[in-house]
Amino acid sequence: MPKQHTFKVVLLGESAVGKSSLVTRFVRDQFDPYKESTIGAAFLMKVVPIDNENSANLHIWDTAGQERYKSLAPMYYRNAAAAIVVYDITQAASFERAKSWVKELQRQAEPGIVIALAGNKTDLSDRRTVEYAQSFGLLFFETSAKTGDQISGLFTELAKKIPIAAEPAQLQGQSGVNLAQGGNAAGGAGDCAC
């Protein structure tokens, strides 16, 4: 029985690039072409083997991509061991957005965070507008949630890259309950984006 390590993974990226579809394909091996926009964030778990002795229990936060949720992102990427920044290879703007997410993560997330860049929708490569991206030294995959192409590769490689020491000391019961930590105060007045 391999030793199981729990890691928090967050998905970020422009809306409609396929974050939820990517996760759904990975966790449930399902695909819904008419998926509705995520509200807030969804939480899913899946265990992936790392090597003979270890496996990773990925606690995945699939966030909503709309601009209005941007200020909530720190709440989801805080204490994350890894992040997957997703863009749509047919939407150049989503790639620009992905780059700014990567910068934000490098600046504000946990210093050792492992970042993967995923160009999704390779099934639409005839409408490609983003060329095979430079990976900026990040883990890089081009994926298709629709066909399943490279999805498990992405998550497995990501899990292997996370240093085992990145596992939080008290596991999930405490994915950060310190109120003082987040950028803006919890339930802050005037923060309402509903």
Partner 1 sequence: MRTAAVKNEEDDEQLELAAIDADKLEGLCIGTPIYTRYGDEAQLAPLMSTIQAVIASFADMSDPIRSMTMGGHTIVFYTSGPLYLMAVASVDEPAQQLRSELAALTKIFEQRSNFDLRQLLGGTEPVIDQLVDRMATSFAFSLGSLDTFLLAARPKGLLYAMLVADLKLVTLMRPRKHSLHPSDLMLLFNMAANRAFLTGEHWTPVCLPRFNDQGFLHVYVNYVTPNAALLLVSADRDSFPAMSGCCEAIVADLSSDGSLQRLEDAAVTACIASHKALVQNFGSCFDDSVPERDQMRIMSTYKRTEAAYDAVLAWQSSKFELYATVSPTMDVRMMIRMVNNVLEWIRNEEDHLFIVNPPSY
Binding site for partner 1 (CB under 8 A): 15, 20, 24, 27-28, 35-44, 64, 66-68, 72, 75, 172-179, 182, 186-194
The amino acid present at 189, given as its one-letter code, is: A
Decide whether 31 or 140 has the Cβ nearer to partner 1.
31
What's the closest the beta carbon of residue 9 comes to partner 1, in angstroms? 14
What's the closest the beta carbon of residue 191 comes to partner 1, in angstroms? 6
Residue 103 burial class via C-beta count within 10 angstroms: exposed 0-12, middle 13-18, buried 19 and up: exposed
Decide whether 50 or 87 has the Cβ nearer to partner 1.
87
What's the closest the beta carbon of residue 133 comes to partner 1, in angstroms? 25
Decide whether 137 or 179 has the Cβ nearer to partner 1.
179
What's the closest the beta carbon of residue 136 comes to partner 1, in angstroms? 28
The amino acid present at 86, given as its one-letter code, is: V
Residue with tokens 């899946």: 46
The CA distance from 179 to 13, in Å, is: 25
The CA distance from 16 to 36, in Å, is: 9
Q: Using the 8-state DSSP alphabet, how is residue 21 labeled?
A: H
